[in-house]
Structure 1
Amino acid sequence: MVPHLITALTGPINELEQRILESMPAIERWFRLEWMEHTPPFYCSVDLRNAGFKLAPVDTNLYPGGWNNLTQEMLPLAVQAAMAAIEKICPEAKNLLVIPENQTRSTFYLANVLQLKRIFQMAGLNVRIGSIAPEIKKPTEFTLPTGESVVIEPVVRTKRRLGLKDFDPCTILLNNDLAAGAPGILEDLHEQYLLPPLHAGWSVRRKSRHFQSYEEVGKRFGKMLGIDPWLINPMFNRCGQVDFNEPQGLDCLQTNVDALLTKIRKKYKEYGINEKPFAIVKADNGSYGMGIMTVRDVKDLEEIGRRTKDKPVGEVIIQEGVLTAERINEAVAEPVVYMMDRYVVGGFYRIHAERGDDENLNAPGASYVPLAFAESTHLPQPGHKPGASAPNRFYMYGVIGRLAMLAASYELEATDPEQEVYE
């Protein structure tokens, strides 16, 4: 099912699509040169928003779940990318241990773990699932609604290696975002590759640092393409620690939201956009789309302040809100692009019938429609009118997704504890 792209066939997004398609050889060369200098994250997913006048990433996940949303047609791409990634890191790899999130009761999440296992088995590895959750004390089998099952075993730490009983992996794949911090059991591993590295977890990572890197990447890409980088970049401010119980915490937030809304209004005026600007206020670390607030006016924050008295203090990022102009069966939709190594391997539309075009869609009630990245007939088709070809639109999504992945590689270089001596 190819989604109906309701964005108008004229206007900035189609000029951007046209420019990207015309510049395909230059873009691919640009990425190739970047990947000679920088190491891509092992895998990631990027949430995009297409407003019809701009297309921008709004979140980049370095421990992506949701692999079960990719169609069977996409699997060969993921397998090839997995082969390339493993070959680069550990060519003689034989055993792979996947460490999932600790909360493993969700059958939807377990279907994602099973899909990852399938991908890496097809890439030529022995794959087993090992949990660091204290409640997993023996091999436990979980049955999925499809009738398939997943066995999760307790991890075993011996001296400086991590594995399972009778299973010694050379590579450990984390599908656990370490939001609660990096547990000691994962530290100081000897001659084992931990992917992604511990500093990619939310105990270290900050969205503001990622979008700072993305801004830098977007400027350079925009210059190469001859476009205004704002068309692909969500502006942002950050506010350090915000305590809603303290007036100064709310003041900082109001000042930064006001400054960002002013900048967005200026851009909207420049492009003749008649939409009402809005900002998204969310935690600077963490995932799952929790605690996200849409703010259209600084006054909204006073109401939020009253409602959030009991919320904990935290670091906050204020991001330019990007509308989504895409619909599937009248439901608001946003594309999510999946990558492994430096390759786009697929994606899906996240849709939510109860949410508006200026609201977060990563919320209970969301459903998923696959994107048709993988079929050969869906390669980009230069010469088609912009907006008329789904494959061309998907190619553009892949380009923006890869820009976010490149920004993540800059971000991981900047936070790598082993690089600190050179800074």
Structure 2
Amino acid sequence: MVPHLITALTGPINELEQRVLDSMPAIERWFRLEWMEHTPPFYTAVDVRNAGFKLAPVDTNFFPGGWNNLTSAMLPLAVQAAQAAIEKICPEARNLLIVPENNSRSTFYLMNLAQLRRIFNMAGLNVRIGSISPDIKKSTTIELPDGESITLEPVVRTKGRLGLKDFDPCTILLNNDLRAGVPGILEDLHEQYLLPPLHASWTTRRKSTHFRCYEEVAKRFGKLIGVDHWLITPMFEKYGVADLRTPEGLAALASRIDGMLTKVKKKYKEYGIKEKPFLVIKADNRTSGNTILSVRDTKDLEAKLRKMGAGVEDAPDPLELILQEGVLTNERVNDAVAEPVVYLMDRYVVGGFYRMHAERGVDENLSAPGSSYVPLAFAESTHLPQPGVRPGASAPNRFYMYGVIGRLAMLAASYELEATDPDAERYD
């Protein structure tokens, strides 16, 4: 169930596409067997980067908020995936409660909620939106630019269940990553399914755990199709706690960056890549903020930190950091730098879009103020992957690859949730 899309593409791609297409039957069988053993996250969004010489995920979101970017042509697939997911979890489900972000009155985000409501309505559920924000004390209706409206209602906790005044749901869908902490109202629910689970939230989640799981998945996948897993994996290191308020802390970070850049340069040399490598420094836990810094040379590190208001004298409190190999993007939409974002529900790819930014470079984070979005349009149903077509010449083939990378990240997410489940039985 991988959509094949028709958005025009530019930028090179290597023989990886050919290897993936030649291995398609083995790949699909491998995924089927994996999903017999592992439970996918309820929904996921994966940011993918195509550097031409490698194709890799750089971020995986368990609480995606851009569903309004999916076109109406994508809705049937999303509805089918929603039905499959709900049938596995609560076959007799009648009512679904969506819990949104607190205090978000962004029109873009509210339209995302309206799209989620539409998907689950079409899947056969009664859907309402219940806010856990203390600011929502009564039913509040908000008009949207497209003529729709959504109503936010205050949640009610009674007898170990979460619902609304006259609405008792079987399933509660979180569209709130709880980075400010898990409120007690969501804990110890009785016979209700909370999706994703609380341990998927940024209160406990670490990016380094996800990418460790992804590396494990990518190594096995690379062996399956006979490619170096580096071609689909960003190198990373869990840095731990960094104190950038002291020269010693800054020097320690610079040393680790130098060491990792050396490893990336070695792979570039192995593949004859002429680009200059870079690293991306991120907070390992988004409760510490979402600062992302690209570094090509440690000589620029202190200047870049100062520019961001994080120099030695005025640095933030110690942060948990992850160092990640930077992946260039060779994709363009109307000359703007772009990256595909793949949306998944249950174990299915249901669509996606290009995130683009006219003022950002090929090595910069595009998820920033000023970004815009171009939906990835479905091709006609007759446009299936075309194994005989020259690599890079077929949009369906390119988007099949994006779907494979998205599913690898989703599989890694299922490994991650299993590893961090506080209620799981473990055997040493």
TM norm. shorter chain > 0.5: yes
SS of match in other structure, 1:350: strand
For residues 274-312 of structure 1, the C-alpha deviation after alignment (integer angstroms, 9 at most, x for no partner) is: 001000001112289931101011122222444402423
Partner of 2:371: 366
**1 CA distance for matches of 2:201 and 2:303?**
32
Matched, 1:95 2:99: no
Confirm or deny: 8 A CA contact 1:3 1:327 kept in the other structure.
Answer: no
**2 CA distance for matches of 1:282 and 1:113?**
28
Matched, 1:414 2:423: no
Within 5 Å, which residues of 2 pair with 1:155-170? 155-170=155-170
Match of 2:10 among 6, 14, 24: 6
**2 CA distance for matches of 1:321 and 1:67?**
27
For residues 206-230 of structure 1, the C-alpha deviation after alignment (integer angstroms, 9 at most, x for no partner) is: 0000000000000000001100000
Partner of 2:219: 219
Name whichever of 370-379 and 409-418 sits farther off: 370-379
Within 5 Å, which residues of 2 pair with 1:120-269? 120-269=120-269
**1 CA distance for matches of 2:371 and 2:340?**
13
Q: Aligned pair in 2 of structure 1 residues 40, 288: CA closer, same or farther (>3 Å)?
A: farther
Partner of 1:388: 393
**1 CA distance for matches of 2:279 and 2:169?**
45
Aligned length: 419
Confirm or deny: 8 A CA contact 1:347 1:373 kept in the other structure.
Answer: no
Confirm or deny: 8 A CA contact 1:373 1:394 kept in the other structure.
Answer: no
Amino acid at match of 1:313: P
SS of match in other structure, 1:418: coil
**2 CA distance for matches of 1:252 and 1:368?**
38
Within 5 Å, which residues of 2 pair with 1:41-120? 41-120=41-120
Confirm or deny: 8 A CA contact 1:250 1:305 kept in the other structure.
Answer: no
Note the C-alpha offset of 1:2: 4.2
SS of match in other structure, 2:342: strand
Note the C-alpha offset of 1:249: 2.7
Note the C-alpha offset of 1:5: 2.2
Note the C-alpha offset of 1:388: 0.5
Name whichever of 301-310 and 404-413 sits farther off: 301-310
Matched, 1:376 2:404: no
**1 CA distance for matches of 2:300 and 2:21?**
41
Within 5 Å, which residues of 2 pair with 1:216-365? 216-286=216-286, 290-306=290-306, 307-308=309-310, 309-365=314-370
Amino acid at match of 2:270: E
Confirm or deny: 8 A CA contact 2:56 2:327 kept in the other structure.
Answer: yes
Identical columns (%): 74
Confirm or deny: 8 A CA contact 1:222 1:228 kept in the other structure.
Answer: yes
For residues 356-400 of structure 1, the C-alpha deviation after alignment (integer angstroms, 9 at most, x for no partner) is: 000000001111111134641343122111101101100000000
Name whichever of 40-49 and 413-422 sits farther off: 413-422
Confirm or deny: 8 A CA contact 1:81 1:343 kept in the other structure.
Answer: yes
Confirm or deny: 8 A CA contact 2:203 2:287 kept in the other structure.
Answer: no
Confirm or deny: 8 A CA contact 2:282 2:321 kept in the other structure.
Answer: yes
The TM-score, its normalising length taken from structure 2, stands at 0.95
Confirm or deny: 8 A CA contact 2:180 2:287 kept in the other structure.
Answer: no
SS of match in other structure, 2:214: helix
Greater RCO, 1 or 2 (C-alpha within 8 Å, sep 6+):
2
**Mind listing any 5+ residue stretches in structure 2 that lack a counterpart?**
none
Amino acid at match of 1:39: T
Q: Give the superposed CA RMSD.
A: 1.6
**2 CA distance for matches of 1:186 and 1:73?**
35
Q: Aligned pair in 2 of structure 1 residues 289, 320: CA closer, same or farther (>3 Å)?
A: farther
SS of match in other structure, 1:130: strand
Partner of 1:32: 32
Note the C-alpha offset of 1:252: 3.0
**Mind listing any 5+ residue stretches in structure 1 that lack a counterpart?**
none
Amino acid at match of 1:4: A
Q: Aligned pair in 2 of structure 1 residues 399, 269: CA closer, same or farther (>3 Å)?
A: same
Note the C-alpha offset of 1:420: 5.2
The TM-score, its normalising length taken from structure 1, stands at 0.96
